[in-house]
């Protein structure tokens, strides 16, 4: 049986279509400057992604103390926004360990989100929130929030900070500054 080049081309395109539909849309690089606060009850950090509706997508990093149940029991006020968003109290120990990491060294930090969910599925194109929560001193913390467009053309944005529970960074100095994100297809 003889197959025309046109039919063969169509067959190849049809075979590739499912792969193209589930192809990863690119990557988002989140950058910030991290400082060390020289006091107790500080220096805890979590970085995560939410969809445009504010639903949790994936944790990129959380400090080891913050991410283990021992830290949550001793200092539940460290990064409560992340704890709630990630549903940390419902996760198994191995799931918690999967996102934990040593406290990052001060300086320029760059993290990459592969545009996949915590379960490893590619996310659809759209607007996503990136959040960085840092613990300044006991319940005093900062929450950086920015929106990044994923899919299509390259894009970038800068996050804004809110100091909680009061609007004062004087609680221990800045832990994080200059939070930005860049999407690259």
**Over the stretch 146-165, which tens digit does the pLDDT of each residue have?**
999 999 999 999 999 999 88
pLDDT over 50 (residue 131): yes
What distance in Å separates the CA atoms of residue 140 and residue 164, rounded to the nearest whole number?
Answer: 6
CATH code of the domain in which 41 resides: 2.60.40.4070
Cα-based distances in Å from 120 to 37, 44, 101, 167: 34, 26, 19, 36
The answer to whether residue 13 is domain-embedded is: no
The answer to whether residue 3 is domain-embedded is: no
- 100-101 and 56-63: which strand pairing? parallel
pLDDT over 70 (residue 130): yes
**Over the stretch 10-61, which tens digit does the pLDDT of each residue have?**
333 334 334 444 456 799 999 999 998 887 777 889 999 999 999 999 999 9
The answer to whether residue 17 is domain-embedded is: no
The answer to whether residue 14 is domain-embedded is: no
Helix/strand/coil for 30: strand
The answer to whether residue 82 is domain-embedded is: yes
The answer to whether residue 130 is domain-embedded is: yes
The domain tally of the chain equals 1
Most confidently predicted of 16-20, 64-68, 179-183: 179-183
The answer to whether residue 16 is domain-embedded is: no
Q: What is the pTM of this model?
A: 0.80
- Residues 135, 43 contacting (CB under 8 angstroms): yes
What distance in Å separates the CA atoms of residue 134 and residue 43, rounded to the nearest whole number?
Answer: 7
Task: Give the number of other CB atoms < 10 A from CB of residue 69.
Answer: 12
pLDDT over 70 (residue 72): no
Domain that holds residue 112: 23-184
The answer to whether residue 113 is domain-embedded is: yes
């Amino acid at each position: 049986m003889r197959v025309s080049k046109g039919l063969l081309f169509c067959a190849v395109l049809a075979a590739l279509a499912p792969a193209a539909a589930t192809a990863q849309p690119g990557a988002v690089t989140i950058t910030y400057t991290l400082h060390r606060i020289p006091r107790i009850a500080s220096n805890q950090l979590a970085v995560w992604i939410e969809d445009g509706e504010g639903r949790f997508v994936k944790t990129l990093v959380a400090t080891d103390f913050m991410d283990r149940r021992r830290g949550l029991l001793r200092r539940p006020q460290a990064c409560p926004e992340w704890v709630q968003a990630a549903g940390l109290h419902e996760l198994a120990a191995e799931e918690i360990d999967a996102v934990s990491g040593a406290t990052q060294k001060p300086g320029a930090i760059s993290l990459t989100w592969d545009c996949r969910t915590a379960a490893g599925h590619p996310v659809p194109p759209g607007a996503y929130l990136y959040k960085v929560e840092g613990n300044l001193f006991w319940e005093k913390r900062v929450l950086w929030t920015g929106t990044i467009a994923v899919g299509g053309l390259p894009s970038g944005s800068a996050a804004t900070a809110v100091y909680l529970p009061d609007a004062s960074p004087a609680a221990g100095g800045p832990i994080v500054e200059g939070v930005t994100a860049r999407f690259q297809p």
